[in-house]
Amino acid sequence: MHGDYGTHNVMIGTDGNITAAARLGDRHARRSDGRYGLRTECLGQQGGARSQGDDRYVGHHRARIPILEVLAERYAAATGADLSQLAYYRSFNSFKTTCILHGVYARYMMGRSPPKVSTSKASGCACWMRSTSPPTASTRDPHADGRTRGSFVDNVLGDRDVHQLSLRHRCGMQLTLTTFGAGIISVAVPDTERPGSTVTITHGPVDLTSLQTVTGRAVGSTIGRVANRIAGADFELDGTVYRLEANEAPNHLHGGSRGFHQQVWEYELLDDTTVRFTLDSPDGEGGYPGTVHAEATYRLGDRRIDIDYTATTDSPTPINLTNHAYWNLAGGTTLGDHRLRIGFDDVLLVGNDGIPLPGPPVPAIDTRFHCNEQHELASVLAEGGLDHCFVGPIDPEREAIVLEHPASGRRLRITTNQPGVQVYTGQHFVPPQPSIAFEPQGWPDSPNRPDFPSCILRPGETYHHHSVYRFDW
C-alpha cells in the first residue's frame, strides 16, 4: 500500500479490543515468504508511539486506551483529509487471516467510545482506510483469489453502524452484502465483451444510502418472519389469534414494516468467502409469538452463491424466510429480451390482493403462467407480468428457475429445498422496474391455510432453507 493513502495495521484481540496501529505513510513490500514487511509503531498505555521495527506480527503490543482519536488525527495530518468526510475501511489478507475493523473513524466523528469488533475465527488482521469513495465494480481485479476483500462503514442507522462487505472469487464474481436486512447489494460477473471489467446483474440500489430510500421494497434483503402475504393480517395458532400489522391493507406483507429486511443484523466471517448474519427477534415483534434466533449465511463459490437460512424458536411461530434480490442479466434497462423457464409444474392462483384463492394449485400449463418451457419475458410482461408462487414437491436437485439472456450468453439457475418460488416481475413499482425477483419460499398465507404445507416452527426444531444460485457466462 502506497504511503500517500496512509496505512493503519491493526490487530484485534479476542476480547474485541483494538490493539495497535502502524505508522502512517509507510510503504510495504511483499516478502518472499508471503508476509508483509513494514515498520510499525505501537501505542503504549499512555498513548505514546514507539517503533517496533520490521515486525511480522503487526500490533502485538496491546493498547487498551481509546486509539480512534489518534488514528483519525494522524490520518488527517498525513493525507490532508477533511475530517468531515466519512472514511471507510477495507481489509486485505494478512498472515493467512482475515477480519474486519468496525467503525473507528465513524465513531470518532460521532464522539463515541471505541467499538467492539466483530472478527472472523482467525486471530488477526491488517486494515487500511482512505477518505475516498469505494472502488467501483469495474475497477476491481476480476481475478482475485476468493478472499473477503473488505468492509466499510457506509451509513449509520439510528445508533447502529450499517456495514457493507464485498466478497470476490477467483472466477471473477463479486458479491456485495450489507448488514441492513442481511441482504445483497449487488452481484457482478465478468463482462465477456469487455475483458477485465464486470457487469452488475442485480437491479436495485448500489449502496446503503440508496437502499434505505427503497426500504419498503425489501430489495435484495432477507425477508421474515414470514415472506409473502398473510390474509387479513392475522392467523390462529394453537387456539390463539395473533394480530399482525396490515402494512399492505388489509393484509400483512413480508413481516411488516419492521420485518427482518428492516433490521441491522450482526455478522461474522466464517472463512474467506462466507459471511453469516444473525438476528434475535423478541417475542411479540411484529405481532408474532416466540423469541426467534435467525441466521442467514452467504457463501460465494465458483460461479455460484449458496444461501442458507436457519431459525429456532422458544414458542410455536410461523417462519418462512427468503431472499428478495432482483435480477437483470443484461445489466441494463430492459427485461423483455430475457428467457425464463420455471421448474415447478403448478401455480397458486391469486386475487387482486395477491392472496391465494380457495382450492388447490393448478397446472401452470393450463394458464397464461405457463413457463415450464422457456418463454420470452416480453410476452409475459405484455400479459401483465408475474407476481405468483409456483409450487410442487420438494426436490433440491430440480432447477426451479432458469433465466437466460441470449444476447450476452449469461444464465442464472436456481435450485432450492423449498416447496415454492414466488416470481415477481416488478410491475407494481412506479415506474416499473426492468428486473425480476425469484423468492424460494413456503406457500403464501400458509398460517391460514391448513391445506397448504405448514410453516409453523416449534421449540426443539430447526428451520432450514437452502438455495443455490448458479451462474454461466
> Whose grid coordinates read 466471517?
269
Backbone angles phi, psi at 3, to 5 degrees: -65, -15
Selecting among 61, 102, 252, 324, the annotated active-site residue is: 324
Separation of CA 126 from chain center:
23
Q: C-alpha grid cell for residue 430?
A: 412506479
Write down the residue that cell numbers 518472499 correspond to: 32
Q: Contact 93/147 with Cβ under 8 angstroms?
A: yes
Distance CA(381)–CA(387), nearest Å, equals: 11
- What secondary structure letter does DSSP report for 131? S
**Per the structure block, which three cell numbers stand in for 200?**
452488475
Q: Assign residue 182 a region: left if phi > 0, alpha if psi is -120 to 50, beta otherwise? A: left
**Using an 8 Å Cβ cutoff, are 319 and 457 in contact?**
yes
CA–CA distance, 64 with 43 (Å, rounded to integer): 9
Instruction: Give yes or no: 388 in active site.
Output: no
CA 78 to chain centre: 34
Question: Which CA distances in Å does 341 have to 329, 398, 427, 428?
Answer: 15, 12, 19, 22
**CB 264, CB 157: distance < 8 Å:** yes
Residue 80: which H helix or E strand, with range?
A: none
Which residues fall within 8 angstroms of residue 358, CB to CB, at 6 or more apart? Answer: none
The secondary element (H helix, E strand) that includes residue 471 is strand 463-472
Can you state the percent helix, strand and coil of the chain, rounding each to 5?
10, 35, 50
What are the strands, taking DSSP E only, across 104-239? Answer: 126-130, 148-157, 160-168, 174-178, 183-190, 198-200, 222-223, 229-230, 234-237
Q: Distance between CA 333 and CA 324 in Å, rounded? A: 19
Q: Are 420 and 388 within 8 A, CB to CB?
A: no
Name the residue among 204, 150, 154 with its Cα closest to residue 174: 150
| List 285, 295, 404, 439, catalytic entry | 439
The C-alpha cell at 375 is 418463454
Nearest CA among 26, 272, 298, 331 for reference residue 183? 298
Active site residue 324: yes
Contact (CB, 8 A) for 105 and 81: no
Chain centroid offset of residue 303 CA: 17
Please give the positions annotated as active site.
Answer: 324, 439
